[in-house]
């Protein structure tokens, strides 16, 4: 009897990406072994009072700036009772649910560092890798794997561009990277400057402004500030309180820093702030691409991109849900590799999960009114579909919007 060889995969890191990679390997019949240098899962999203070397770190108040329906694993919706924008502790709760549900933890070797990954001497023939690890007791081991997945994130090392700020070596106050910021209390009644108006900079500026004597927010180019509930935001600064803090004067927006000297900070507009106690440097995100366009592109490469014209013909209600959004990850589980039987239901119930955490008191149901939305939606779908098929050279008999409309009427509920 011939024994089947199971390919072994090393997964480095037990954060959100590492967990998803373990599950993907199991789905494909592979044997994953995950090495996590700490004693728990979660990666970036696990808050710790003291930052650790070579590890991402967050401040205590971090709330995700992506809604739960957009950020969830594509085959494991976040519970309906969770808030739409979750505190980091709830994100950790969700990761634990995911790991428990798919029994991922037994594949993780905690407190184990990966020291070295390199191709084996016969790599051209075998495609295998040598992986050297070290456990918490200092014992090293060497392993052979058929593949390696690196899931350590990109916020492990702080980027302090001190050369951009002349005089920083003479600054008498305290300066540090935002990864080292945890809580605002120790800076009560101080003057502080936060550099950068990204999401972390905005959050820290708002939080510090509640306790400091004055908070200055330095930005080179400005930003569009949006609430978490809004339309068409690609990668803006998401902050619910910053505009009010600016209006009240507790946060003063300043241009880029020209130089620092002693306890003073001079900005590019010539203004100088004296007696500054704290300067906080930002996280600089180098992966600022549109999530939706990126996932759509990758989905096409993997063969899991939903075929919207076909859905409009075969399952019009589902097709309209996908066409008019929101662009939630469940749509990439409708077909192809990794197809999930619950994807359709997850799409149909996504707005219920959005509404549930806000339904905290009973209220009378509104009277049912005749809706004119279906005809409008249907007409827009037909126009969009016609443009799509013309662009993609569909057969002529499929390019007739009137025929499509008649076909779709069969499936749509009567008004």
The domain limits of the chain are 8-150, 162-281, 291-359+368-409
Q: Residue 411's pLDDT is what? A: 39
Contact between 153 and 44 under an 8 Å Cβ cutoff? The reply is: yes
Same fold yes or no, 8-150 and 162-281: yes
Which two three-digit tokens encode residue 75?
A: 């085959």
pLDDT score for 5: 85
- Helix, strand, or coil here: 70? helix
* Residues 265 and 252 sit within 8 Å (Cβ to Cβ): no
The first and second tokens of residue 205, run together, are 């500026």
Q: Which two tokens stand for residue 160?
A: 């302090």
Does the structural domain 162-281 have CATH classification 3.50.50.60?
A: yes
- pLDDT at residue 367, as a whole number: 64
Q: Report the pLDDT value the prediction gives residue 326, as an integer from 0 to 100.
A: 87
Give the CA count within 13 Å in the CB-facing half-sphere of 2.
3
DSSP 322-339: HHTS---GGGGGSSSTT-
- Classify burial at 249, counting beta carbons within 10 Å of its beta carbon; exposed 0-12, middle 13-18, buried 19 or more: exposed
Report whether 206 contacts 246 (CB < 8 A).
no
Residues of the chain with pLDDT under 50: 234, 394-415
Q: How much is the pLDDT for 316?
A: 94
Residue 344's SS3 state is helix
Q: Give pLDDT, residue 402.
A: 44
Please give the pLDDT value at position 374: 58
Q: CA 397 to CA 348: how far, in whole Å?
A: 30
What gap in Å lies between CA 237 and CA 199, rounded to an integer? Answer: 5
CA distances from 249 to 244, 263, 267, 308 (A): 9, 22, 18, 49
Tell me how far apart the alpha carbons of residues 247 and 244 are, in angstroms, rounded to a whole number: 5
Alpha-carbon distance 190 to 12, whole Å? Answer: 42
* pLDDT computed for residue 331 by the predictor: 96
Instruction: Decide which of 3.50.50.60, 3.10.20.30, 3.40.50.300, 3.90.1640.10 is the CATH code for 8-150.
Output: 3.50.50.60
| pLDDT number for residue 227 | 72
Find out whether 145 and 128 touch, Cβ atoms under 8 Å. Answer: yes
The whole-number pLDDT of residue 397 equals 39
Residues with Cβ within 8 Å of 369's Cβ and at least 6 positions away in sequence, in order, are none
Contacts of 388 (CB under 8 A, 6+ apart): 308, 309
């Amino acid at each position: 009897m011939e024994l089947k060889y199971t390919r072994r995969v090393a997964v480095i890191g037990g954060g959100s990406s590492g967990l998803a990679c373990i599950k993907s390997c199991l789905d494909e019949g592979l044997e994953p072994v995950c090495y996590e240098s700490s004693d728990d899962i979660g990666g970036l999203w696990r808050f710790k009072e003291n930052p650790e070397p070579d590890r991402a770190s967050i401040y205590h108040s971090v709330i995700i700036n992506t809604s739960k329906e957009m950020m969830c694993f594509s085959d494991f919706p976040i519970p309906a009772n969770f808030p739409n924008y979750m505190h980091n502790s709830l994100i950790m709760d969700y990761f634990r649910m995911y790991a428990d549900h798919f029994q991922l933890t037994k594949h993780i070797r905690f407190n184990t560092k990966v020291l070295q990954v390199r191709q084996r001497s016969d790599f051209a023939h075998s495609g295998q890798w040598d992986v050297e690890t070290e456990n918490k007791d200092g014992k090293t081991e060497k392993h052979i794997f058929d593949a390696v997945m690196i899931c350590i994130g990109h916020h492990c090392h702080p980027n302090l561009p001190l050369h951009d700020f002349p005089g920083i070596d003479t600054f008498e106050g305290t300066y540090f990277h935002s990864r080292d910021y945890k809580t605002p209390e120790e800076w009560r009644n101080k003057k502080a400057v936060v550099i950068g108006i990204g999401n972390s900079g905005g959050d820290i500026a708002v939080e510090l402004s509640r306790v400091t004597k004055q908070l200055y927010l330095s930005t080179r180019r400005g930003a569009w500030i949006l609430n978490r509930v809004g339309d068409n935001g690609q990668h803006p600064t998401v902050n619910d309180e910053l505009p009010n803090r600016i209006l009240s004067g507790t946060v003063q927006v300043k241009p880029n820093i020209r130089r620092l000297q002693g306890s003073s900070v001079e900005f590019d507009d010539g203004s100088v702030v004296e007696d500054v106690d704290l300067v906080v440097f930002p996280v600089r995100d180098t992966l600022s691409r549109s999530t939706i366009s990126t996932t759509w592109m990758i989905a096409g490469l993997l063969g899991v991109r939903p075929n919207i014209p076909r859905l409009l013909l075969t399952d019009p209600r589902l097709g309209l849900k996908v066409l008019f959004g929101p662009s939630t990850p469940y749509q990439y589980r409708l077909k192809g590799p990794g197809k999930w039987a619950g994807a359709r239901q997850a799409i149909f119930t996504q707005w219920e999960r959005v509404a549930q955490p806000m339904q905290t008191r009973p209220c009378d149901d509104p009277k049912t009114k005749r809706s004119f939305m279906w005809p409008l939606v249907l007409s827009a779908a037909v126009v969009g579909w016609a443009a799509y098929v013309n662009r993609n050279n569909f057969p002529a008999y499929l390019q007739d919007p009137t025929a499509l409309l008649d076909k779709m009427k069969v499936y749509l509920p009567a008004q």
